[in-house]
Amino acid sequence: MSLKTVRLFIALPVDDSAVLNYLFDIYRGLDKYSSILKTVDSGNLHITMKFLGDVAEDKYSKMIDSFSSLEGSVRINYSLKGIGCFPSLSSPSVIWTGIECDIKKMSELFLKVEGFCSSFGFEKDTRMFTPHLTMARVRRGKDVPSGLKDFIRSNKERFYGESVFNRLVFFKSKLDKEGPEYIKIAEVKLS
């Protein structure tokens, strides 16, 4: 008998309409390269706090029941500034927008999420947490033209808006050929 699993992650949604309007310029610039890029739908923008992967339904049900323990974590003001890429401009695979915020508050929230997840047997992340907003991914096997690299370089200091992270969301991710669908299964308010 196989256990049914669900693909899960915990994130801070970026869904303030004013901020999304600011990001329109990035999308317009990236759209010129749609043959080599897969952009993230504006309705799916988020800062991943913890990617859990495929989780057995019985375990995730217990996590949902306890998710409210993260309630009361502090809201975090943020600004979106600049465009960059991973791993490097010479060979980008992910294009992101930078997040400027109170890194102490962000780190405290990250550690709370890590502690919550580790209490259910998930390993703690050993990499340093670097908040960023993924805007697009380079399609496998595609070369990145100099025009796209110039676009990234010329926008690395541009200010795109500011808002506040006021909720933490537990998402289920369903993958299909149209792209991922993120379904909110639990939420806590940040105060």
Q: What is the DSSP letter of 48?
A: E
Among residues 185, 186, 188, 179, which one has the least CA distance to residue 45?
A: 179
Distance of alpha carbon 55 from alpha carbon 60, whole angstroms: 6
Q: What is the DSSP letter of 158?
A: -
- pTM, entire model: 0.92
Mean pLDDT of 134-154: 94
| CATH architecture of structural domain 5-189 | Alpha-Beta Complex (3.90)
Q: Give yes or no for residue 128 having a pLDDT over 90.
A: no
Strand order in the sheet with 167-174: 46-56, 5-13, 167-174, 181-189
The residues spanned by each domain of the chain are: 5-189
How many H-runs (helices) and E-runs (strands) does the chain carry?
4, 9
pLDDT in tens, 8-64: 999 999 999 989 998 998 999 999 999 999 999 999 999 999 999 999 999 999 999
- Identity of residue 105: K
Backbone φ, ψ for residue 134 (5° rounding): -70, 125
pLDDT in tens, 83-121: 999 999 999 999 999 999 999 999 999 999 999 999 999
